[in-house]
Structure 1
Amino acid sequence: MEIYLDEEQITVPEGTLLGDLLPKRDTACIVAIVRPAEEVATETETIRIVSTAGDVIVEQTGSGMYRLPLDDPDFSRHLVLRWADRYAAAFGPFRSDVSPARLPYRYERGEVVLGCGGYDPGRSYLIFSRMSHTADHGASTGGGIVGRVVSGKSVIDRWTEGDTILGFERLRGQADRSRAFTTTDPVLPLEEGMRIVTHVKAVVEGLAAGGVDTRTAQSAEHFLLAMQRGRFSVGRSSSTHIRDEHLVRTRVPAEMTEPRLAGAVTVRTSGRSEGAVYIYTADVPASPSHTVVGRVTHGLELAVLANEGDTFCIRATPEKFDLVGLSLGEARNIAAERGIRITSDDSDDDRVVVDQDPPTTLEVLGAGEVAVATLPPDRVIGIRLHDEDAPLSCAILREVTGLKTHSVGKIPFYFKFEDVYLFKPSIARGIGIIPENTPVDVVPADTLAMTNDSRKGAGLVGVRTTESREFGPTSEPFSGTNIIGAVLDIEKLEGLKEGTMVYIREVT
């Protein structure tokens, strides 16, 4: 039988089962199955323009002479950037039916204009407005606007001498999916012409063949962190999008507010779902509460068909560049594999990386180099957190120490008295530490705890080196103590000085 596996046509024997085809599949993840007779493609008004500096998505507007002449071979051949300034960039020339109005018009950023040079339609140009301006671009009456850039405005800003438009692709949608479905069933029999989609691929905004744009570095980093485990868990599914919620309540800056086309990946930047990752399955307008962080390049069918509670595999490009928590030797190997020059404050390969600069993947890739700070292994203290007993308190500790984003975090040492070590992290006002997992009879030695909101010292973190039947690890009564885990390397605390920054590693 001829089938399609992630768009690659392959031949399999009659009677092949899904499990035979995918023996190493992540069994927690659904795959999409599309039967060929039920799939009808429909053209949309959205065009992908592929250029040497990256892709630009244009939504066509108007009709007749105010549309992109995509069927004209003179137009669709490779177009070279002929001129560019702070206001606009023009590709061409080519022949068109433009009838120049010989009048200036007002253009807004992102508008795409069909104009001509010297009022000669034989020297027509496709002009992209980089910023609001008024000009006579040799366009027809009304300004000759043929579309608007809805994704890739950073690309039009990067275009420079030598850049070329390589091609145009009309995006297509699936109008009928009545027999498309998802499954995890390994004994599903495969059929002739069946299409199997095993995963979603997504590329972060700012990554293009022509270079790296770091204006979305922080929000893209959040997306790479959210998808680092290789799974997208659908916490909500609607007619326009699906949402992964496992990093909700994480602050993310609004770096790129754009229309959310089908296939766009965004992160919510405000509200109760702040930090959630969205994949859009239909076109919707821009929102000030969403920042665009990437786009799906393969497997949108999975997002369309997924229901609440489903999980599917996702591959985000580029892979997150995070050296924190690795030994210096491991960090050097990874940097070399990815073509990044690394500098360090020490040469001992056994030291642990506790910080890197630049901190985000796009910034590192853009710079081509990274500097790391290290500590001896005996300066990094292992802890184990009890999420099953104190999920809210553990989440707060990860947030304030940096363990939410890296495998090594830091927490300032407050002071020591008798058998108690106290730490004072900076916890934002308004974060409630409700009582949870309070001790009953005894607190064992090496127990890690956080003072809850029932006491004045709420937010203090502490550990005792001996057990206690009266007070918790922060020297508060049991009712004011949330037990959150244990310190595994208690001997490393010996000799700490007040104000010292202590580095901790979560051991699972």
Structure 2
Amino acid sequence: MITIELNDVEVEIEKGSTLADILKKTQTSYTKDAIIGIVKGGEEIKTLTTEYSLFTNKGEFKIEVDSEKSELINIWLTHFTDSNLQAHWATPDVTAFGPISTDIKTDRDTYEYQRYDVIFGAGGYDAKNTYLLFAKDRHNASYGGYNGGIFGRVISGKNNIAKLDQGDSIDRIEPVIKWETLTDKVITTDLDLLLEDGMKIFSYISVDLREDSPQGAEHFLGAVRKGLFNASDSSSSYIVDDVLKGEICPFESLDSRSEGTVAIRTKGIGTGRAFISKEDRTSSAVHSIIGNVTKGLELVKLAENTHKLEIRVNPQQVMFLGLNIDEAKAKAQERGLAIEIDGDSSDQAMIVEQDPKTTMEILKNKKVSVLGIPPDLLLHIKFYYDKAPITIEYLRHALKLKERPVGPLSVFFTYENTILFKTIKRAEGYKELMPENTPSDKVIAGEMGVTNQASRQYGIIGIKNEDDERYGPTGEKFHSTNIIGRVIDAEKLKSVSQGDIIYITEVD
């Protein structure tokens, strides 16, 4: 027998066993093409980090200093880390410990501070009266520190910051030491790999989402709804999933990006990208923190560009779209939710909308309202990804199919053998629709097309219910039409009229 550690649990298994054997024995799921990380033991070394633990009479909290603020960090190291500090004064915005005489630079300007900023200030704008301040709320003030004096962030134990008041004390400050093991590391998708005694195996990552970031959490759940985190890019400090790159996500939570932190970029180039930090980084005004890796961080650190990681998210997404009424009722009961059904409530009606839209809000309210439609209003499409990837990306964005299983289309016009649609979400500026997979001889009934930029009507979507050798699904000439897929139940469209809303879902 040999001993293996699988996802932090020791398992004894017969010598000569493979990865497949241990996954089967432990009933551990495995998603095809997901990487498995394997670590063999080695020598441990210790390294200092940019984090410090502060022990007060009200409890412990941790801060992370900004490695780029070298002058302020020098003040921190030489004057504060070995001192017993007492809170000299406090306001609803900050608590100030000190003073201590330093050579800090000062200025008299007013600056904006965020909750949990760690600040150096100077009483009377005099460096001899240097204070260590912890921001308890967002505010503007002039504390005397040069350029605002911010040099760090509180990253854990934040509830203790609110408790600090005049007369409280910081009894000791300790640097956080992390142990790193020098090891042989292997990444594989080969389930026939032979196991060796002492191996540590990581087959998935777990992420806990933050309740204070409901929109960002839902964005992330949409990105990984197929159970995989797709590492579109990687570096020594992060991996990033680009599945929802370009999709808007609001900023909700500013916090330190310590290792294992999950964040969504909310502005600039790369909006919508989902990041997982491999190492500690300072907070960013364009990265909204939505969760943390609670298991499998080693797999994150091993992952590289193009790798797929099996992921388990807590809480699991609450998604009713695409279910029939019976399935929706069963899911609501399973999750302990009250469900209210609007629209068609027959057993086979299909759910196409839900309110609230986010998992966090639904779980908080413990109830959800859903919209049911007759099955005949839900179309199933098989996309031609190998032939028209850019146009499909455009349509999936417009229908929100990138983050959810069902999307709406408005019937714009019908005539003869042609049905035209417009997306409810306008998306003409999302991507250029250059000619792509244009038909040459004939358009097959049921194929969906999108008018490209060879026509002034670009962005119009269409389906024909008969084969056509002259015009594309949108009624345009072939060179103006991009064929993106085939609706497998297009016969449902025979009874639709202008102004109707139908829904689309994707099939493999």
Normalising by the residue count of structure 2, what TM-score does the alignment of the two structures yield?
Answer: 0.77
Mind listing any 5+ residue stretches in structure 1 that lack a counterpart? Answer: 50-54, 71-83, 91-97, 114-125, 136-144, 160-167, 208-212
Classify the secondary structure of the residue corresponding to 1:457. Answer: coil
Cα distance change on mapping 1:309 and 1:401 into 2, 3 Å: closer
| Distance across 2 between alignment mates of 1:68 and 1:371 | 57
Aligned counterparts of 2:99 and 2:302: Cα–Cα separation in 1: 48
**Is the 8 Å Cα contact of residues 136 and 162 (structure 2) preserved in structure 1?**
no
The 3 A distance-change label for structure 1 pair 26 and 351 is: closer
For each residue in 1:86-108, what CA deviation from the matched residue of structure 2 results, as whole angstroms up to 9, or x when unmatched? 54799xxxxxxx9888xxxx996
- Which stretch of structure 1 is more off in the superposition, 343-352 or 219-228? 343-352
Q: Return 472-481 or 288-297, whichever deviates more.
A: 288-297
Q: Distance in 2 between matches of 1:370 and 1:421?
A: 34
Aligned-pair CA distance for 1:58: 3.3
**SS in structure 2 of the partner of residue 492 of structure 1:** helix
Which residue type is aligned with residue 490 of structure 2? I
Amino acid of the structure 1 residue aligned with 2:40: R
For residues 335-350 of structure 1, the aligned pairs below 5 Å read 335-345=332-342, 347-350=345-348
Letter in 2 for 1:26: T
> Please, which moves more after superposition, 353-362 or 259-268?
259-268
In structure 2, the residue matched to 1:12 is 13
Given candidates 282, 287, 297, the residue that maps to 1:290 is 287
Deviation at 1:234, TM superposition (A): 2.0
Work out the number of aligned pairs and report it: 451
Checking the alignment, whether the CA contact within 8 Å between 1:31 and 1:199 is kept in structure 2 is: yes
Partner of 1:461: 461
In angstroms, what is the RMSD of aligned CA positions? 4.0
CA–CA separation in structure 2 for the residues paired with 1:11 and 1:320? 34
CA contact (8 A) 2:64 2:256 kept: no
Give the Cα separation in 1 of the matches to 2:91 and 2:99: 22
Q: What is the distance in 1 between the residues matched to 2:293 and 2:82?
A: 24
* 2:23 pairs with 1:22: yes
Alignment of 1:33-432 (within 5 A): 33-42=38-47, 44-46=49-51, 58-59=63-64, 62=76, 66=80, 87=93, 109-111=115-117, 129-132=136-139, 148-150=153-155, 173-204=178-209, 206-207=210-211, 213=212, 216-345=213-342, 347-425=345-423, 426-429=426-429, 431-432=431-432
Aligned residues of 1:398 and 1:404 also touching (Cα < 8 A): yes
Query: 2:500 aligns to what?
Result: 500
Q: Percent identity?
A: 34
Code of the aligned partner of 1:349: D
Residue 331 of structure 1 aligns to a residue in which SS? helix
Report the CA distance between 1:43 and its aligned residue: 5.5
Secondary structure at the residue paired with 1:301? Answer: helix
- 380-389 or 177-186: bigger deviation: 177-186
Q: How far does residue 230 in structure 1 lie from its aligned partner after superposition? A: 1.8
Structure 2 residue identity aligned to 1:22? L
Q: Which amino acid aligns with 2:12?
A: T
* Partners of 2:204 and 2:118 in 1: CA distance: 34
TM-score, scaled to structure 1: 0.77
The verdict on how the C-alpha distance between 1:381 and 1:14 changes in structure 2, with shifts beyond 3 A counting, is: closer
Change (3 A) 1:428 1:286: farther
* Letter of the structure 2 residue corresponding to residue 424 of structure 1: K
1:323 maps to a residue whose letter is F
Change (3 A) 1:186 1:462: closer
Distance in structure 2 (CA, Å) of the matches to 1:329 and 1:484: 32
Structure 1 residues 108, 228: CA separation in 2 closer, same or farther (over 3 Å shift)?
Answer: closer
CA gap 1:158/1:471 in 2 versus in 1, 3 angstroms: farther
Contact kept, 8 Å, 2:114 with 2:135, in 1: the verdict is no
Alpha-carbon spacing, 1:16–1:46, altered in 2? closer, same or farther (3 Å): farther
Secondary structure (helix, strand or coil) at the match of 1:424 reads strand
Rate the CA distance shift 1:85–1:241 in 2: closer, same or farther, 3 A: same
